[in-house]
Amino acid sequence: MVAALSPVAATWGHALEQRSLSFVHTHTGESLSTVYFRGGSYIAPELHRVNHLLRDFRTGDVHTIDPTLLDILFDLRTLVDRDQPFEVISGYRSAKTNAFLRRHSSGVAEHSLHIQGRAIDVRLSGFSTRRLRELALGMRRGGVGFYPASDFVHLDNGRVRWW
């Protein structure tokens, strides 16, 4: 009987699935808690709120954040099993900001996925960034960069790679 109900239970669970995230932006001090996905669909007004929070804080430019990046964060937060908000160091970066950062620091890619809204730099308060990196690497869902001196992890939805 249990085996016969499993597909129904799985379908029911998927239909009711809800994904939520919380953020605190380390440069602007802004915070956001949002349910961005419910009942099989992304929620457009909530995605717009995320886009605004993760804007290029240097220029104010807002860009669409790829929802699959949010799904990576959601799954990572589930693995971490904590409700603390992600502390955002960098979300979207305009081409102008990216060029500026490349001129003034090392480790900034010329064609960074931040420019496409497909990358984010984060940490979780009270949680080891080294452990966060390990969990993200285990997901094999995109790029994972580890910056221990600055205490953050870069995540993107590009090809699987690490540094």
Confidence of residue 15 (pLDDT cuts 50, 70, 90): very low
Q: What is the pLDDT of residue 22?
A: 98
* Domains annotated on the chain, with CATH: 2-162 (3.30.1380.10)
User: Which tokens hold the place of 52?
Assistant: 């605004």
What distances in angstroms separate CA 63 from CA 56, 123, 146, one per listed residue? 8, 22, 24
Rounded to the nearest angstrom, the gap between the alpha carbon of residue 108 and the centroid of all alpha carbons in its chain is: 18
Neighbours of 145 (CB within 10 A): 18
| pLDDT for residue 51 is more than 50 | yes
Hey, CA dihedral for 122, 64, 17, 145, is it positive or negative?
A: negative
- 126-157 tens-digit pLDDT: 999 999 999 999 999 999 999 999 999 999 99
Give the helix ranges, DSSP H, for 42-159: 44-53, 67-80, 95-104, 129-139
Q: What is the pLDDT of residue 109?
A: 84
DSSP string covering 46-69: HHHHHHHHTS-TTT----PPPHHH
Q: What is the pLDDT of residue 4?
A: 44
Q: What is the pLDDT of residue 16?
A: 54
Across the range 118-132, mean pLDDT stands at 97
pTM for the model stands at 0.88
Neighbours of 19 (CB within 10 A): 20
Stretch (H or E) spanning 158 = none
- 87-97 tens-digit pLDDT: 999 999 999 99
Q: What is the pLDDT of residue 1?
A: 41
